């Protein structure tokens, strides 16, 4: 099972040091191994190099992901960070299409497809986020929105496979109304969406699906009972590394599945 902490625009050098200190405990190493858990941290670009170096220096079994990449590879695009920049500092995974990027920075479905293409080509594992808004839910447009977000991404992954590119990918269902709201989606809703996503498109290999949106100590065990989920993408609760560790403790020991062979690289 995959546990991804999305730090968003939080943390500082000293908070990062404290966070990694907690994650470097022997108890954590043992538990991850025993339970078959794989942990990743999505840090903001400014801290990526530092976190990645520290994780390696301290030998912490945690993958480091970016929170976004540019739709361009390089050039005169002030403020952007491209796939080659990530690779240059040894970061081999990134969130893509997070709802906060879509909502506050007008990222489009087309941008997400372009980013997916660049990541797959570059060997950067994309964690592609999707999810409906509150108004989609209320107006019965949930599946239409999901279809619009996912279909072109699926086509892009198929195209990559046809070209002999086998970079793994992850999907993260994050209903917009559940993010940071304290209200998480119901088990049946999640199950229905994941079934739609897995069966409604011609994926070249079975998607690995994470869930995000107000996941915390009070609900992670129940959410983990959903066999369709392979992990969680968590914001606020996992800004505290003790909560991340405690969450991991609450999870059942995972059966080794085919998914376990795919690690964040």
Which residues belong to the active site?
98, 174
Question: In angstroms, what is the minimal distance from the CB of 233 to ligand 13P?
Answer: 5
C-alpha 120/C-alpha 208 separation (Å) is 15
End-to-end CA, the chain: 15
Contact yes or no for 81/69 (Cβ under 8 A):
yes
Does the footprint of ligand 13P cover residue 180 (CB under 6 A)? Answer: yes
Residue 3 or residue 160: which is nearer to ligand 13P going by CB? Answer: 3
Residue 146 or residue 160: which is nearer to ligand 13P going by CB? Answer: 146
Number of chain residues interacting with ligand 13P (CB under 6 A): 14
Residue 12: Cβ within 10 Å count: 9
Question: In angstroms, what is the minimal distance from the CB of 238 to ligand 13P?
Answer: 7
Does the footprint of ligand 13P cover residue 174 (CB under 6 A)? Answer: yes
Residue 125 or residue 234: which is nearer to ligand 13P going by CB? Answer: 234
Q: Interacting stretch for ligand 13P, rule CB under 6 A, among 20-28, 44-52, 159-167, 230-238? A: 230-238
Residue keyed to tokens 């795919």: 262
Does the footprint of ligand 13P cover residue 41 (CB under 6 A)? Answer: no
Q: Interacting stretch for ligand 13P, rule CB under 6 A, among 102-110, 153-161, 172-180, 196-204? A: 172-180
* Angle, alpha carbons 96-10-190 (nearest 5°): 45
DSSP-assigned letters across all residues of 64-83 = EEBS---SSSSSS-TT---H
C-alpha 217/C-alpha 204 separation (Å) is 34
Residues that bind ligand 13P (CB under 6 A): 6, 98, 174, 179-180, 212-215, 233-237
């Amino acid at each position: 099972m995959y546990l991804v902490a999305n730090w968003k625009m939080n943390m500082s050098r000293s908070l990062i040091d404290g966070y990694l200190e907690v994650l470097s405990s022997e108890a954590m190493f043992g538990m991850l191994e025993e339970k078959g858990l794989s942990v990743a941290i999505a840090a903001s670009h400014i801290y990526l190099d530092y976190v990645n170096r520290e994780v390696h220096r301290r030998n912490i079994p945690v993958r480091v992901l970016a929170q976004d990449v540019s739709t361009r590879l390089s050039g005169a695009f002030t403020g952007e960070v491209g796939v080659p920049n990530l690779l240059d500092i040894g970061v081999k995974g990134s969130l893509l299409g997070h709802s906060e990027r879509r909502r506050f920075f007008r990222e489009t479905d087309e941008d997400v497809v372009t980013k997916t293409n660049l990541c797959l080509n570059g060997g950067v594992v994309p964690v592609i986020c999707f999810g409906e808004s509150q108004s989609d839910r209320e107006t019965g447009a949930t599946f239409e929105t999901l279809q619009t977000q996912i279909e072109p991404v699926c086509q892009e992954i198929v195209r990559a496979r046809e070209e002999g590119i086998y970079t793994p990918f992850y999907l993260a269902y994050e209903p917009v109304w559940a993010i940071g709201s304290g209200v998480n989606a119901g088990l049946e809703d999640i199950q229905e969406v994941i079934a739609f996503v897995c069966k409604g498109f011609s994926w070249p290999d079975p998607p690995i699906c994470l869930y995000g949106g107000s996941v915390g100590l009070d609900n992670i065990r129940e959410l983990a009972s959903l066999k369709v989920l392979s992990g969680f993408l968590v914001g606020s609760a996992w800004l505290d590394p003790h909560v991340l560790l405690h969450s991991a403790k609450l999870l059942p020991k995972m059966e080794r599945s085919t998914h376990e062979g795919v690690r964040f690289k």
